[in-house]
A = this chain, B = another copy of it.
Amino acid sequence: MDIHDLTRDLQVQNDSKIVMLVADGIGGLPVELGGPTELEAAATPNLDALASRGVQAASIPVLPGISPGSGPGHLGLFGYDPLQYKIGRGALEATGIGFELQENDVAIRCNFCTLDEQGNISDRRAGRISSEESVPLVEKLRAIEIPDIEIFVEPVKEYRFVVVFRGADLGDQIDDTDPQATGVPPLEPTANHPDSEKTVEVAKEFLRQARELLADQPKANFHTMRGFAAKPNLATYQEVYGLKAAAIAVYPMYKGLARLVGMDIIGQPQTLTEQVELLKEHWDDYDFFFVHFKYTDSTGEDGDFEGKQKRIEELDAAIPNIEALNPEVLLVTGDHSTPSYLRSHSWHPVPTLLVSDCCRPDGQTAFNESTCIHGGLGQLEAKYLMTLSLANAGRLGKYGA
């Protein structure tokens, strides 16, 4: 069952506003037995006050025990079942650098690599060359021309870059050319499906020209291709929810993910304050706003408990300015937990708070990992947060008579 079959049928139009404030990786862990998590250690008077009016959930990003990447984490929050809808690696990489994928595109993650004199890979990452060294090489590859194919070559970071082929009849069912080993030659692109034969020919020609262009390089004298992926076929927020939606994010990855579900991208904010300003400016233009706060995740990944705590306090300070806009539904959540103790995304349920005039408050007076497990929404798969938000906004009609 696709939840969107329900939301397509039941969606109702009104003037309500929904704000989804995503504190990336907000969930955490204590670093000592009986100690607080980052969120519990932080002073969050505004979130706690909000908790008294709201209802909490311990939100499960995918399934118990499964730690999601940013792609599946956000698809879940957006109400697209992350086990059903997938974003191919190449498409996610392109999305992450702000490349706007179109219907006829196939995106590919590429690594510069080093070939020895026999043509075998001696370094799968070309000595991890810096961005300074790789960007000119990426630009060099832009000279490659293939008839009837538009080609984009974009730097990512260090030895990584993205290639996008744009043209008719390009399938994406193609194996990686990275043999995941050294001392052997790169693999030839091979199609897993007849629809992808044309892409194989294009990729082979690209690799042939690239080998010539890079031949005189000491380290990055070739590259591999991985994660061939077309633009994922995701129905838009307008279609599945009847929502005109906007994303206010600092980082390209989150703008890209929002764009994949049909959200407009607003402005080029650099801080949360600027994000809230943009929210205010565009308040009348949209029904739904996705506001993404990155730093609760990046501090967690750095293992910086106090840094994460401070970033949570920064988030808390922004709450009154969002509340002042009187959204019908304010949802505060994260796409996953990023405990500084683990320095990585984790599977732990995410503290989640939904506030509306009809949310049935659960008596909690604080907002954190300990309170959310006693919240009125229980343990909840993240994919249901959109149906709950729509319901609380009066935007979902009755199912069945």
Contact = CB atoms under 8 A, between A and B. Distances in A.
A384 B346 contact: no
B399 A62 contact: yes
A156 B309 CA distance: 62
A390 B66 CA distance: 9
A401 B67 contact: no
**A33, A65, A73: residue with the most chain B Cβ atoms closer than 10 Å:** A65
A82 B37 CA distance: 36
B399 A68 contact: yes
A365 to B, nearest CB: 11
A363 to B, nearest CB: 6
Given A86-B400, A400-B72, A358 B342 contact: yes
A388 B69 contact: no
Contacts of A72: 399-400
A69 B398 contact: yes
A29 interface: yes
Contacts of A69: 398-401
A249 B378 CA distance: 33
A149 interface: no
Given A388-B347, A391-B347, A401-B71, A66 B396 contact: yes
Interface residues of A, number: 70
A66 B29 contact: no
B65 A384 contact: yes
Contacts of A377: 64, 379
Interface stretch (A98-106, A111-119, A368-376): A368-376
A398 B68 contact: yes
Given A374-B374, A379-B380, A66 B399 contact: yes
A contacts with B: majority SS: loop
A352 B396 CA distance: 24
Given A342-B358, A373-B376, A378-B58, A384 B82 contact: no
Given A29-B358, A363-B370, A370-B362, A67 B398 contact: yes
A1 B84 CA distance: 9
A125 interface: no
Interface in A61-103: 62-73, 82-84, 86-87, 89, 92-93
Contacts of A231: none
Interface string A314-341: 0000000000000000000000000101
Contacts of A82: 399-400
Nearest to A93: B401
A93 B6 CA distance: 21
A378 B377 CA distance: 10
A66 B392 CA distance: 10
B339 A358 contact: yes
Interface string A1-34: 1010010001000000000000000000110011
B358 A346 contact: yes
Contacts of A33: 52-53, 361
Q: Give me the 4 closest cross-chain CB pairs, A-B, nearest first.
A: A65-B387, A378-B379, A64-B384, A72-B400
Given A63-B387, A377-B379, A378-B378, 16 more contacts: A3-B63, A29-B358, A33-B52, A33-B361, A65-B396, A67-B398, A68-B398, A71-B401, A82-B400, A89-B401, A93-B401, A346-B358, A347-B388, A362-B373, A373-B378, A379-B380
